[in-house]
């Protein structure tokens, strides 16, 4: 079902590649082979979707973009990005002493990565999707400590029973 959606999404893309002389085809593999091939960079094209977050760490950026990770199995530098400029900007982001310095380094990194054309944007969802189970609640008597609100969620047997999770 989901695989059919991927084929439907990328069939026109594959046809467009053929139209410009690129021998493109869609090949689906089982999840074990997919993980192995992805981990070892054994692919020509790979559908990926990820979100880095508002405050990426230097370690996270290195895994995705650093030259040393381009051929390191298990890392996520899938396009094989090898660039001294990218490496220097990751280092600058890691050494940032303020939010302003971090944002400046990340904007520069974003510009350099976009200019490299290592990725082909396919689609974008304008909204975040969130799924949840309403089987939690708060105790009537809350502690007087400085716990974050999510630490105070309690399993509610009645709510869980209503959704078949009790």
34-77: pLDDT as tens digits: 899 999 999 888 888 777 877 899 999 999 999 999 999 999 99
Q: What is the mean pLDDT of residues 2-25?
A: 85
Between the CA of residue 140 and those of 97, 127, 150, what are the distances in Å?
43, 34, 15
Q: The whole model's pTM is what? A: 0.67
Calculate mean pLDDT across residues 108-113.
96
User: At residue 146, what are phi and psi to the nearest 5 degrees?
Assistant: -90, 45
Exposure string for 58-79, b = 16+ CB within 10 A, e = fewer: beebbbbbbbebbeeeebebbb
Structure tokens at 116: 């490299």
């Amino acid at each position: 079902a989901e695989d059919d959606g991927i084929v439907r999404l990328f069939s026109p893309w594959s046809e467009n590649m053929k139209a410009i002389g690129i021998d493109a085809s869609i090949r689906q593999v089982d999840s074990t082979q997919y993980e192995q091939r992805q981990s070892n960079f054994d692919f020509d094209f790979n559908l990926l979707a990820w979100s880095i977050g508002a405050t990426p760490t230097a370690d996270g950026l290195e895994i995705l973009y650093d030259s040393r990770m381009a051929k390191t199995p298990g890392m996520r530098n899938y396009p094989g990005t090898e660039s001294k400029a990218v490496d220097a900007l990751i280092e600058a982001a890691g050494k940032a002493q303020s939010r302003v310095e971090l944002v400046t380094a990340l904007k520069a990194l974003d510009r350099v990565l976009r200019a490299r054309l290592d990725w082909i944007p396919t689609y974008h969802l304008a909204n975040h999707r969130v799924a949840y189970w309403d089987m939690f609640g708060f105790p009537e008597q809350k502690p007087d400590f400085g716990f974050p609100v999510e630490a105070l969620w309690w399993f509610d047997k009645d709510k869980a029973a209503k959704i078949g999770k009790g």
